[in-house]
Structure 1
Amino acid sequence: MQIRAGTLTPEERYKINDHIVQTIIMLDKLPYPRHLRRVPEIAGGHHERMDGTGYPKRLRAEEMSMRARMMAIADVFEALTAADRPYKEAKTLSESLRIMAKMRDGGHLDPDLLRLFLESGVYLQYARRYLAPEQIDDIDIRDYLGETIS
């Protein structure tokens, strides 16, 4: 069974979005060694968008760390390709990357980091390790690169 987009009530949407607030609250209370002190900021920023319309803090790209912007890309890719979600079917590489390119174009994902994600082959390394073979369709990354912001 899949739930159609746009069918959540404001209260349901609030409850779903609240998971990131709870993540930040919990992570902020933990003691970290020096090299892990930014974990709350990195994990807590994975639903922020480059255009400032994300949550919970509505940060713009320049207000976010590079690592938080990377986490956003990783989170979206994992969510799109995940096969263990009862409310959606796992998407193929081509479907996932097409959606991510649209998200980049809509100001949601960092253009330069998405380009790096693609050109480095990280998406394919992950796919080969964690996706079902039928999800790994033939793609040409040039179809998803778009323009970068310098």
Structure 2
Amino acid sequence: MRTLDDRLGISDEELRRKQLLAAPTLPVEEPLLADRPDHRIERLPSDRLDPDNPWGFKLQPPELLYDRGELKNLSISRGTLTEEDRYKINEHIIHTIRMLSALPFPRHMKDVPELAGGHHETLIGTGYPKGLKKEEMSDVARMMAIADIFEALTAADRPYKPMKTLSQALKIMTFMRKDQHIDPELFALFIRSGVYKRYAEQFLRPEQIDAVDEEALLAG
């Protein structure tokens, strides 16, 4: 039973959404949790991607910008993100490519948008934002994917996850190699060249630098 007006003390945007429905006469009996129309935040036409967009993006946005439905959010079966939340996270790479593509890079830097924007692609077309396959990516773009993943796994400044040790990070990357998320030949080069060690010595904390069985990683 609700006896207080739920339209008091809220933002103009929240009030606009609540005004989509007539205000009930108080007191009113209503469920404790619900998916209401005012939970649905519409996506503007300008936020949608044309299938024939000039960048070749295939990452299509969900219908809504956000869905604050209480039942929907409590029904997430894995993790904590809705479809809308996941898109908002993935959308950063679209902004990266669009921004960099608009800059007048000199000729020797013309590939910067591809290199900066391709590290979420996979070898089999299941990545984003373009759904590229191995043969559609340059060697350097595939190298960047390995570097980006390794840095993300070992970073000590991510508030949403603990940092990984060298052996933990590289083990995780072997699973990504198996799933064809990263190039197996370039990953082998990453191990054999010892570049991961040089990075660790310069940027990782001492407690992260543990023993690595390179042969086991390469044989997996």
Q: Does TM, scored on the shorter chain, surpass 0.5? A: yes
Match of 2:128 in 1: 55
Match of 1:72 in 2: 145
User: TM-score, normalised on structure 2?
Assistant: 0.64
Choose from 36, 40, 44 the match for 2:117: 44
Match of 1:144 in 2: 217
Cα offsets for 1:88-109 (capped at 9, x unmatched): 0100001000000110001100
The SS at the match of 1:59 is coil
Cα offsets for 1:7-40 (capped at 9, x unmatched): 2111110000000000000000001111100000
Structure in which a larger fraction of residues adopt helix: 1
How many angstroms apart in 1 are the aligned matches of 2:100 and 2:120? 16
Aligned length: 143
Larger RCO (CA under 8 A, 6+ residues apart) = 1
How many angstroms apart in 1 are the aligned matches of 2:216 and 2:209? 16
Preserved CA contact (<8 Å) 1:101 1:146: no
Aligned-residue CA RMSD (Å):
1.0
The SS at the match of 2:159 is coil
Residue correspondence of structure 1 range 84-95 to structure 2 within 5 A: 84-95=157-168
How many angstroms apart in 1 are the aligned matches of 2:213 and 2:136? 32
1:144 offset after TM fit, Å?
1.0
Bigger radius of gyration among the two? 2
Stretches of structure 1 that go unaligned for 5 or more consecutive residues are none
Taking only the aligned residue pairs, the percentage that are identical comes to: 63
Match of 1:33 in 2: 106
How many angstroms apart in 2 are the aligned matches of 1:70 and 1:81? 17
Preserved CA contact (<8 Å) 1:81 1:92: yes
The SS at the match of 2:91 is helix
- Answering whether residue 199 of structure 2 is matched by residue 117 of structure 1, we say no
User: TM-score, normalised on structure 1?
Assistant: 0.93
Runs of 4+ with deviation above 4 angstroms: none
